[in-house]
């Protein structure tokens, strides 16, 4: 802290102490009788007029943050306290200043503000990146869901095609073969040896026909299109219980409707896949 010497209301420096010499780099002989503008930069000259007016009104000015210049023209940031100086009759004849060098504090504050601004810029950039990545991930998820839906739709179309081919092609051929074998079995009743072979072949054809029909239904159960999800699930569970011996208890609410065809297919596949895994890994 430096106590600056007195000055008149006209701004003339009347005294200059050692503290002022150290702070501003001017000797007393260089400063005394000079105008106070000696240490005031041009950009701050208007402040002096305001200070003088307040001093004339007898005000004490505290914590006035400003800039002054040293003899070598380097800026000096200071905090001023300015008090009126009165003569013996109480009339204000000048002003006395107490200055505190706050250059380092101001530098620290500027550096802190710069750090805060860089931090905010970094935080904003990070937030922008997070938002960008989030939107990108949402787009990827949307694309994945769309692709998954298209894949499931493609699989179902192919299953329908295979099921139709099994039913209309191989199924009808086996049916015709079965009828022919049945006729042969009827004609060969009087010849027991070949008749037994025909009967066995007929049994195998019937078994293969049932298996093809079952496979066709599993690929795409007609009941799903004809009667809805509840009927298709009951048919599937009943068939699985009969062929595997698994004890499956299916409970479907009475009012289980209003779902789209795509949703019913998805639910049917979930149940089918789950029970298939149980059957595959249970050792039944």
Residue 282 banded pLDDT, cuts 50, 70, 90: confident
- Average pLDDT for the chain: 80
| Cα–Cα distance measured from residue 41 to residue 64, given in angstroms and rounded to the nearest whole number | 16
User: Which of 191-195, 211-215, 224-228 comes out lowest in average pLDDT?
Assistant: 191-195
Please say if the pLDDT value at position 168 is more than 60: yes
Q: Which two tokens stand for residue 126?
A: 């990070």
**What is the residue extent of each domain of the chain?**
2-101, 223-284
Average pLDDT over residues 183-202: 66
Average pLDDT over residues 114-129: 86
Please say if the pLDDT value at position 2 is more than 60: no
- Number of CB atoms found within 10 A of residue 233's CB: 22
Could you tell me the fold of the domain covering 2-101? Beta-Lactamase (3.30.450)
Instruction: Supply the pLDDT for residue 167.
Output: 62
User: Which of 8-22, 52-66, 198-212 comes out lowest in average pLDDT?
Assistant: 198-212
- Number of CB atoms found within 10 A of residue 139's CB: 10
The interaxial angle of helices 229-244 and 261-282, nearest 10 deg, is 10
pTM comes to 0.41
Please say if the pLDDT value at position 249 is more than 80: yes
Residue 242 banded pLDDT, cuts 50, 70, 90: confident
Instruction: Supply the pLDDT for residue 210.
Output: 66
Whether the CA torsion 130, 131, 134, 135 is positive or negative: it is negative
Q: Which residues pair with 96 in a beta bridge?
A: 83
63, containing H or E segment: strand 61-69
| Cα–Cα distance measured from residue 234 to residue 218, given in angstroms and rounded to the nearest whole number | 13
Instruction: Supply the pLDDT for residue 230.
Output: 86
Please say if the pLDDT value at position 15 is more than 70: yes
Please say if the pLDDT value at position 131 is more than 80: yes
| Cα–Cα distance measured from residue 188 to residue 115, given in angstroms and rounded to the nearest whole number | 103
Q: How many percent of the chain have pLDDT more than 90?
A: 1
Please say if the pLDDT value at position 36 is more than 70: yes
User: Which of 115-129, 205-219, 237-251 comes out lowest in average pLDDT?
Assistant: 205-219
Residue 137 banded pLDDT, cuts 50, 70, 90: confident
* 19-40: burial string, b at 16+ Cβ within 10 Å, e else: ebbebbbbeeeebeeeebeebb
Q: Which two tokens stand for residue 44?
A: 């701050």
Q: How many percent of the chain have pLDDT more than 70?
A: 78
Residue 198 banded pLDDT, cuts 50, 70, 90: low
């Amino acid at each position: 802290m430096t106590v600056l010497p007195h000055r008149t209301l006209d701004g003339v420096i009347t005294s200059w102490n050692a503290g002022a010499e150290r702070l501003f780099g001017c000797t007393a002989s260089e400063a005394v009788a000079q105008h106070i503008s000696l240490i005031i930069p041009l950009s701050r000259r208007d402040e002096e007029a305001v200070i003088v007016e307040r001093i004339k009104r007898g005000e004490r000015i505290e914590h006035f943050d400003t800039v002054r210049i040293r003899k070598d023209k380097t800026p000096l940031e200071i905090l001023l306290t300015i008090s009126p100086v009165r003569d013996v009759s109480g009339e204000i004849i000048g002003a006395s200043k107490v200055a505190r060098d706050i250059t380092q504090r101001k530098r620290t504050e500027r550096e802190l503000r710069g750090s805060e601004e860089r931090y905010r810029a970094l935080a904003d950039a990070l937030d922008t990146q997070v938002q960008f990545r989030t939107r990108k991930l949402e787009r990827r998820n949307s694309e994945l869901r769309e692709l998954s839906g298209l894949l499931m739709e493609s699989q179902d179309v192919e299953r329908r095609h295979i099921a139709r081919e099994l039913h209309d092609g191989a199924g009808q051929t086996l049916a015709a073969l079965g009828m022919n074998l049945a006729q042969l079995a009827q004609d060969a009743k009087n010849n027991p040896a070949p008749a037994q072979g025909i009967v066995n072949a007929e049994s195998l054809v019937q078994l293969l026909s049932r298996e093809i029909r079952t496979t066709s239904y599993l690929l795409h159960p007609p009941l799903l299109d004809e009667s809805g999800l509840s009927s298709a699930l009951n048919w599937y569970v009943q068939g699985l219980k009969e062929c595997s011996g698994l004890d499956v208890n299916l409970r479907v609410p009475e009012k289980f409707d209003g779902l789209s065809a795509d949703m019913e297919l998805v639910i049917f596949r979930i149940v089918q896949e789950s029970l298939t895994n149980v059957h595959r890994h249970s050792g039944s």
